[in-house]
């Protein structure tokens, strides 16, 4: 490959890399620490795919230009080219190994449970609503008319969510957390979430669970620690 073409290829790869730093490639902006890590993995995976694509397209274009037919003379034929065969076998293996390593590392980070979570909430899914149990005195339940319940969480704290299904499979999904987890009858499922952004975010059931599955949505409101404690006290005093 000529120096000029090599420079063009390097510039294309660098452009893709810089674009990745400011783009989420279609993923929503995360509002939790776990979401940030998942977004980083997503960006790295897309960039790796784009780099491979640029290299492959470049090689195809180079071969088309370099070896385009000019006359009727048959080019030289070789049964094999061991160095090239080793290279195009080794590189995909290394790419897959790298993707596996970073995926496994991210999975371990986002599924790791803290020894001392700041808040524990039991999330109960049932046909076709949600219930959030903070304690015996603070229980938030969606009503039968379809009014979604609100899960209130403090920002920058570790929240332990214990996921319980009362009847069939459900799935706890907050798109801005960039992850979801199933609720399965008889299976103990727990996740830790560290909200990092104040605001109100949409949550849904991501597992088809029957006729009124579409009604199983909720909101997550992330507030300051002081506001969260005031909210807890108001709920314990009989507030709605």
Cα separation of 207 and 239, whole Å?
32
In percent, how much of the chain has pLDDT > 90? 59
> Does 236 or 225 have the greater pLDDT score?
225
- Exposed e or buried b per residue across 205-215, where buried means at least 16 C-beta atoms within 10 angstroms of its C-beta: bbbebeeebeb
| Exposed e or buried b per residue across 5-16, where buried means at least 16 C-beta atoms within 10 angstroms of its C-beta | eeeebeebbeeb
Other residues' Cβ atoms within 10 Å of the Cβ of residue 156: 14
Average pLDDT score over the chain: 87
| Residue 226, Cβ density class (10 Å: 0-12 exposed, 13-18 middle, ≥19 buried) | exposed
- pLDDT tens digits for 10-30? 655 555 555 555 577 888 899
Whole-prediction pTM: 0.79
CA distance 200 to 181: 20
Q: Where are the beta strands (DSSP E) in 91-138?
A: 119-126, 129-133
């Amino acid at each position: 490959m000529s120096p000029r073409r090599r420079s063009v290829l390097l510039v294309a790869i660098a452009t893709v890399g810089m674009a990745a730093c400011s783009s989420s490639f279609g993923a929503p902006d995360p509002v939790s620490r776990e979401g940030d890590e998942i977004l980083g993995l997503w960006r790295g995976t897309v960039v790796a795919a784009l780099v491979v694509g640029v290299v492959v397209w470049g090689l195809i274009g180079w071969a088309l230009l370099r070896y385009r037919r000019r006359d009727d003379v048959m080019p030289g034929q070789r049964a094999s080219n061991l160095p090239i065969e080793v290279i195009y076998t080794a590189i995909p293996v290394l790419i897959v190994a790298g993707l596996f390593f970073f995926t496994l590392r991210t999975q371990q980070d986002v599924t790791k449970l803290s020894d001392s979570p700041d808040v524990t909430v039991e999330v109960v899914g049932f046909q076709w609503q949600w219930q959030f149990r903070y304690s015996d005195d603070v229980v938030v339940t969606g009503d039968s008319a379809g009014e979604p319940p609100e899960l209130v969480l403090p920002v920058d704290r570790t929240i332990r969510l214990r996921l319980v299904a009362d009847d069939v499979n459900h799935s706890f999904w907050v798109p801005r957390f960039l992850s979801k987890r199933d609720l399965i009858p008889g299976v103990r499922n727990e996740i830790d979430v560290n909200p990092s952004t104040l605001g109100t975010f949409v949550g849904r059931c991501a597992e088809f669970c029957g006729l009124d599955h579409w009604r199983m949505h909720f909101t997550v409101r992330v507030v300051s620690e002081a506001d969260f404690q005031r909210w807890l006290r108001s709920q314990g005093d009989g507030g709605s």
